[in-house]
Every structure is written in structure tokens, then in C-alpha cells.
Amino acid sequence: MNRRIPLVLAVALFMEQMDSTVIATALPAIAADINTSPIALKLALTAYLVSLAVFIPISGWMADRFGARRIFAIAIGVFLVGSIACAASGSLVEFVVSRFLQGMGGAMMTPVGRLVLLRSTEKSELVSAMAWLTIPALIGPLVGPPVGGFLTTFLTWHWIFLINIPIGLAGIVFALTVLPKDDGRPTGRVDWVGFLLSGAAASGIVFGLSVISLPVLPPVWGLAATVAGIACLVAYLGHARRHPRPLLDPKLFSNRTFALSLMGANLFRIGAGAVPFLLPLMLQLGFGMSPFQSGMITFASAAGAIVMKFVIRRVLKSGGFRRTLLVAAAGAAVSIAINGVFTPLTPVLVIMTILFLGGLVRSMFFTSANALTFAEIGEAEAAQASSITSALQQVSIAIGVALAGGILDVVSSYNGGELTLGAFHAAFFIIAAITALAIIPFLKLPPNAGEAVSGHGIERAGPRAASPVRN
């Protein structure tokens, strides 16, 4: 495996992952500068998520049609242009449109980057390669808030976006020089009806849940958008059964390993994905810490994620996917529940130790689940599988944040509307229980699932273990 390939992809994806959260701490400063309110400015967060949801489904078709390397480089370029536009924005409308443009680039980066990795990596090396792509998703949401707070405090909020310029330019150069050349392949005409229905389904659900969790618009709007998104999803499934080449083919779910992996991973993501939302809020609102202080503490999770990258391959070879995922899901659920007993009197070292261990098991889970999802997917199906995976990730993250926010609201309503530390504790306990539900799908996995990728139970590498992700 060319180890430069996952590194190039990881750097670009880290830029996207961090940028999606770095804006949160700068909202008051941006709002004051462009003469709007922080609540109204949260429309920019929603616009970014909606853009991701709309354009992720078509990313696989574009990568197949025009070449994954070319589309990945273009995606970085679009994201970069959006970043510059954000920094130059002088009004709410301009900023929201700029964030939507950023989302268009981000929508292509993650699924297409994963596709490049799948097509350039031998199955026996897939776990190590996926570990690199897991780290940005784990570290980005943790690094974003403190970096945003630092840049906004000591420079100006514009640097949150301007810092992407050198990273993006370097990403484009390395993408075009390091990533394998891919001229595309015959794909037939794009399924425009499928694109409209899938985009409406994903964006409706993500927009609706975002509105429910962020009080930007009346909650009834969020409920209506969510229902409309679900209706479009049902319509898309009917369309896909009739279309000879649907944009996203539901038949992929007939692959048992793929289906169970996605089900378990998204249940896990609904729970564990809410932690980057809940933990900084609890440390700041419940413990009285500054954004920078809370960011330095939560970074312990990122340290755990990095450490796991170096041992995950040996863990999987020893225990296999099924056992590793069961242990990781259970361990993550326990670590999240422990967050629910933290108080301002809890020693910082104890908090950081628990967060470090939580980062270890979450990284173990995500790296294993991401690799297993594609362990039995052929090259012809890889583009669609990557798009489906990315779309479901966005929906599950939106559900997790909406659920966490809803729990805080409900518990607070019993305390006269006051957001107390007890509300955060209740949210962590419920989120931990949902995370534990991920155990159920993985119990149905056979012990030898994905053995060509994990190496578990294989005495020596056979043809399957030594070949790239192709059928």
C-alpha cells in the first residue's frame, strides 16, 4: 500500500471535519460583525448540513463518470472557494450561501476520498488505511472548538476560513500528484429523478432534525421537513426498484455484512456522535470552563483515537471483526455513561483519563466498522456503497445531535427552563444506552465476517487477502 494515499486523504478530510465544527465558537463574533444575531446565524450551520445531504448521493456517480482523483481535487477546490467566500461575507445571506458552497465541496470529499482508498488498497491493508480516515472524523469535532476560540480571540473570525487556503492548495497539488490516476468509466446517464428524490430525502431529514435541535426556526418547520424527507425516501425506494441503474441501489443491502455493519455503525453514531455536542456544553455551562479550557480537556479523546490507530490491526487480527466490535461498542457505552457522573469536583486528570479511554474504544469501533462495511463490496459497487454510507452518516449524526438537544430541553422544562448539570447527566445516560444498541446487529455477524480484511483465522494470506477491493 502506498502510505501517502491515506495521508493525503486524511489531511483533506481533517480540514473538512474541523471546519464543520470550528465555526460554533465564533458565531457571536461573526454575528456582531455582519450585523445579525447568533441564533439567526445558525442557519449557516444548517445550510452546510443540507448541502452535504443534497450532494453526497451523486458523488459516487460523478467519481465513476469523471474519475475519483479528479473529482476529489475539484471537491477540495470548491470547498476552498467556499471558505474564501465565507471570509469575505458581509451579510447573513452571503454567509449562508457561502456555507452552502462549502458543503458542496465537503459532500464530495468524504465519499470520494473513501472510494479512492478502496480502489487503491489491498484488502489485507484496508484496516490500516481506514484508521487514517477515521482519525479526522474523531479529532475534527474535538479540535474545532478550541481552534475556533483561539483564532477568534487572538486574531479575527476570518482566519477560521482563511487558514483553509494553504491547506486546500496543498491538498489539490498532492491529490493530483499522489493519488492514482483514474480516467473514469462508462456509467450511463445520471438518474436525475433519483438524485432529486434522494437529495430531498436526505436534506429534508437533516434540515428538519437540525431545526428541531437548533432553535433557528419554529420547531413545526423542522417536524414538517423531517416528515417530507421521510416521504421522499419512501418515494425513492419505489423509484429505485423500477429503475435499471438507480443512483443509490438498495440491492446493496442484500449483502448481509454491508447491511449489518451500516446498521450497527449508525446506531453507534447516533449515540457516540452526540458526545462532541454534549461534552463541551457541559464543561462550559455546567462546570464554568472557557471554550479553550474545555477544548484542551476534550482533546484527550483525540489522543486515545490516535493511539488506537497504531494497534487496531493487531487487535482485529487477534479478535476478528465480530468480537472487536462487540467489545468496542460495550466499552464506548460504558465510557459515555461515566461522563454522566462527572461534576465540577471531579479531578481533571480523572476526566481526561476516561475521555482518553473513550477515544480508544470509539476509534476501535469506527475503524473496524468502516473497514467491515466495505470488506465484501466489489469495485463496481464501491462508489454507490461509499455514497450510501456517507449519506447515512450525516442522517445519524443529525439524529444524535437532535436527540441530545431534545433531552436537554425536556429535562430543563422540569426545572423551570433552567439548564442544570442534571440535564447533561440524564442526556449522557440515555445516549450511552443508545450506543449500546449497536451491539445487537453485530451479534448476528458470523465469527469469520471480513476475515480477508482482518486476517483473523487465516494462517497465511490467500488470494482474497492479497487482492484489492475488486470482484
pLDDT tens figures, 431-453: 999 999 999 999 988 877 777 77
Say which residue, 133 or 344, is predicted with more confidence.
344
**CA gap 311, 142 in Å, rounded:** 22
pLDDT(317) > 80: yes
- The arithmetic mean of pLDDT across residues 121-140, rounded, is 68
Confidence of residue 172 (pLDDT cuts 50, 70, 90): confident
- In a 13 Å sphere around the CA of 333, the CA atoms on its Cβ side amount to 17
Residue 67 in this model has a pLDDT that exceeds 90:
no
**180 dihedral zone (left: phi>0; alpha: psi -120 to 50; beta):** beta
CATH pick for 1-182 out of 1.20.1250.20, 3.40.630.40, 3.40.1020.10, 3.60.150.10: 1.20.1250.20
Residue type, 326: L
Share of the chain above pLDDT 90, in %: 10
pLDDT value at residue 467: 42
Integer CA distances (angstroms), 226 to 208, 219, 237, 316, in order: 5, 11, 17, 38
pLDDT at position 37 over 70? no
The yes-or-no verdict on residue 375 having pLDDT over 90 is: no
pTM of the model: 0.76
State the average pLDDT over residues 398-416. 77
Amino acid 17 reads Q
**137 vs 64, more confident:** 64
Closest by Cα among 364, 366, 374, 371 to 312 = 364
Q: Give the pLDDT of residue 142.
A: 63
Mean pLDDT of 409-420: 76
Q: Does domain 253-471 have CATH number 3.10.20.30?
A: no
Find the range with the poorest average confidence among 23-37, 46-60, 214-228, 428-442: 23-37
Q: Do residues 298 and 21 touch, judged by C-beta distance below 8 A? A: no
Contact indicator for 351, 297 with CB cutoff of 8 Å? yes
Predicted confidence (pLDDT) at residue 171 exceeds the cutoff of 60: yes
The pLDDT of 371-391, averaged and rounded, is 77
Q: pLDDT value at position 354?
A: 92
Residues sharing a CB contact under 8 Å with residue 171, sequence separation 6 or more, in sequence order: 8, 11, 12, 15, 73, 76
Residue 327 pLDDT: 92
Confidence at 55, pLDDT banded by 50, 70, 90: confident
Label residue 460 by pLDDT band (50, 70, 90): very low
Q: Which three cell numbers stand for residue 11?
A: 489531511
Mean pLDDT score across all residues of the chain:
79
Contacts with 40 (C-beta within 8 Å, 6 or more apart), sequence order: 31, 92, 216
Give the CA distances from residue 111 to residues 105, 217, 339, 444, in Å, rounded to whole numbers and listed in that order.
Answer: 11, 30, 32, 27
pLDDT for res 63: 80
Report the pLDDT averaged over residues 179-185. Answer: 71
Under the banding of pLDDT at 50, 70 and 90, the label for residue 231 is very high
- Mean pLDDT along residues 368-391: 78
Give the 3-state DSSP-derived string for 446-457, with helices as H, strands as E and coil as C: CCCCCHHHHCCC
